[in-house]
């Protein structure tokens, strides 16, 4: 199954999909050089900075800690901006008890069953931090490290390059992984994320972003009236621990059918066994397009109240839709409001969860001499 990964490696360098094909009519370019400010200091004395970017009507604030998107502001149908990403007002919130708000996820997005996998005849035990399983890279994943950040301007685009080297054996993963993630705000207001990584030893990699979206505005209440479409006719059912069983099940005739746009709340309480286990939606959709050399449109999210829309294009084969099931009212966000169950959702482009333990899933193996490359583009409208 490594052919799928090699297809990405060989083809994704051509992933410069024109933003105009996703964003519709261009908004006026207002790009300016990213601005850096002090955001806080970790217990070991490491300073954390916040970078502010603006372009094409979109405003983005990113932390060097975890590559976290703290806020992302876009206009509604009347031109009124709102922050549509959940997060905390200070560093302490992210360090103490964040459910991955806005975080850059690695080395492996989503779950690996029992935190174990075998590669080239060698078994590896990873950090377990979700019961008996490994979630989002383990107890000290990429979201809990300070990244080196380099701002840039390129023509009408502005952005940040984030760098981190993960040493051999970190959280149990083999190989020294050198990672670069580029956040770009285009002149059209799109937020583009380009991931790259190399290794000196065979390993597994699955990087993604964990933004919690509410297009009505952060702290604006339930997302159950948001309308969602996903270009995927199958999904990966899970066991009681939310680990894929290996089945690629059809969405037809189930609450998991989002091939045509529908309100998220329409079927969220349908009582399907998979929903009962996850307390809603927390599943990987098998995208119809599979692995592609260039990003292709795979999902659209729309808030009828504000008119705001989010369109996602990716070269990845999977999309994890999480409906904010474990938000419980104990966390207070940037706007001073508490977050309750269903107050946001995540749409994480990815390879499939637990892929190292399922030979028929698209491969996540990266070997020396190869370069992991993948791109996801978020386009906004109203």
Q: Is 210 annotated as catalytic?
A: yes
Catalytic residue among 218, 348, 351, 358: 348
From the number of C-beta atoms within 10 Å of its C-beta (0-12, 13-18, 19+), residue 43 rates as exposed
Contact 75, 57 (CB under 8 A): yes
Contact 381, 135 (CB under 8 A): no
Q: Is 38 annotated as catalytic?
A: no
Q: Write out the H or E segment, with its range, that includes residue 278.
A: helix 273-278
Catalytic residue among 210, 283, 351, 378: 210
How far is CA 331 from each of CA 87, 98, 327, 343, rounded to the nearest angstrom? 9, 8, 8, 12
Report long-range pairs for 263-268 (Cβ below 8 Å, ≥24 apart).
Answer: 263/224, 263/225, 263/226, 263/227, 263/228, 264/223, 264/224, 264/225, 264/226, 264/227, 264/228, 264/323, 264/345, 265/222, 265/224, 265/225, 268/224, 268/323, 268/342
Active site residues: 210, 348
């Amino acid at each position: 199954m490594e052919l799928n990964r090699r297809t990405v490696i060989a083809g994704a360098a051509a992933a410069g999909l024109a933003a105009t094909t996703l964003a519709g009519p261009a908004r006026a370019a207002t790009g300016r050089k990213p601005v850096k400010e002090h955001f806080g200091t970790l217990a070991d004395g490491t300073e954390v900075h916040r970078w502010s970017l603006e372009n094409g009507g979109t405003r983005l604030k990113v932390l060097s800690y975890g590559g976290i998107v703290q806020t992302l502001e876009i206009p509604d149908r009347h031109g009124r901006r709102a922050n549509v990403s959940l997060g905390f007002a200070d560093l302490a919130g992210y360090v103490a008890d964040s459910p991955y708000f806005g975080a850059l996820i690695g080395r492996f997005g989503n779950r690996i069953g029992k935190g174990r996998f075998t590669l080239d005849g060698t078994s590896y035990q990873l950090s377990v931090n979700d019961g008996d399983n490994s979630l989002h890279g383990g107890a000290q994943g990429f979201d809990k490290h300070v990244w080196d950040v380099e701002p840039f301007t390129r023509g009408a685009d502005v952005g940040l390059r984030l760098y981190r080297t993960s040493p051999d054996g970190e959280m149990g993963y083999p190989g020294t992984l050198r990672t670069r993630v580029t956040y770009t705000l285009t002149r059209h207001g799109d937020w583009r994320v380009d991931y790259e990584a190399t290794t000196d030893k065979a390993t597994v990699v699955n990087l993604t972003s964990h933004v919690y979206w509410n297009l009505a505005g952060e702290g604006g209440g339930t997302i159950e009236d948001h309308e969602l479409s996903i270009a995927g006719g199958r999904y990966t059912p899970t066991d009681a621990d939310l680990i894929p069983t290996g089945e690629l099940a059809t969405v037809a005739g189930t609450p998991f059918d989002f091939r045509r746009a529908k309100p998220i709340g329409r079927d969220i309480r349908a009582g399907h066994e998979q929903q009962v286990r996850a307390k809603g939606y927390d599943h990987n959709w098998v995208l119809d397009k599979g692995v592609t050399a260039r990003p292709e449109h795979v999902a659209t999210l729309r808030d009828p109240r504000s008119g705001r829309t989010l369109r996602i294009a990716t070269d990845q084969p999977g999309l994890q839709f999480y409906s904010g099931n474990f938000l419980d009212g104990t966390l207070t966000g940037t706007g001073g409001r508490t977050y309750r169950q269903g107050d946001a959702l995540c749409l994480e482009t990815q390879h499939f969860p637990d892929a190292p333990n399922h030979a028929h899933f698209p491969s996540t193996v990266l070997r020396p001499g190869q370069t992991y490359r993948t791109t996801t583009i978020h386009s906004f409208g109203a």
